[in-house]
Structure 1
């Protein structure tokens, strides 16, 4: 039993070392091609600079949830559905516009 535990311990120490092997040049080039399009700004083939702006999805979701909670807390009469829906809609629109307006490329 002791030998089995020692063998498993030695194998667990050797496995992470084999995962971190150095990359070949072709693997490094493939990774650099993938990363080329992840930047916010890039230069096109025509020489112009292009910019990738956020589409506002994160702000839409967070604003919708926050707006629904605020709308529900403000509307205290009845079943609160109207306040929740109006708050979610207003929060979603506001969150989307806030996220889209803050990021701009120059």
Structure 2
């Protein structure tokens, strides 16, 4: 019973402290973002340059690394499959990153 009361007291004390962001701050931040006719959002950085959202290839790197490791382990027919796994993971990661970077078009031009 004591733990229940302490938990309820802790929740009652912390819930009022959690507040949302003021509306003025959201409006002020939204002025830095622009939107094109096709719905693509881009923004102007602190240095005055325009920035857009573009894939850096991380997803392809991870998926390619896992796929390459599995393929390298399968292809390596020796008793110790560590070398095939490591080489396959490295090659798959590099290939996956390049494919992800080249296939994802920049979202602003």
TM-score range, shorter chain: 0.5 to 0.7
Looking at secondary structure, tell me which structure has more helix per residue. 1
Q: Which runs of 5 or more structure 1 residues have no equivalent in the other structure?
A: none
Asked if the contact 1:71–1:86 (Cα under 8 Å) also holds between the matched residues in 2, the reply is: yes
Distance 1:8 1:61, change over 3 A: same
User: Which segments of structure 1 move beyond 6 Å, counting only runs of 4 or more?
Assistant: none
Asked if the contact 1:60–1:91 (Cα under 8 Å) also holds between the matched residues in 2, the reply is: yes
* TM-score using structure 2 length: 0.57
Q: Aligned partners of 1:80, 1:7: CA distance in 2, in Å? A: 56
Please report the RMSD computed on the Cα atoms of aligned residues, expressed in angstroms.
3.8
Aligned residue number for residue 21 of structure 1: 19
The correspondence of residues 64-79 of structure 1 with structure 2, limited to 5 A, is: 64-79=65-80
Aligned residue number for residue 37 of structure 2: none
Distance 1:79 1:18, change over 3 A: same
Aligned residue number for residue 63 of structure 1: 64
Q: Which runs of 5 or more structure 2 residues have no equivalent in the other structure?
A: 34-39
* 1:68 Cα deviation from its structure 2 partner: 1.1
Structure having the higher Rg: 1
Write out per-residue CA displacement over residues 58-84 of structure 1, whole angstroms, 9 at most, x where no aligned residue: 322331132112110121224234422
Aligned residues: 98
Write out per-residue CA displacement over residues 38-92 of structure 1, whole angstroms, 9 at most, x where no aligned residue: x96235758xx64231221332233113211211012122423442233123211
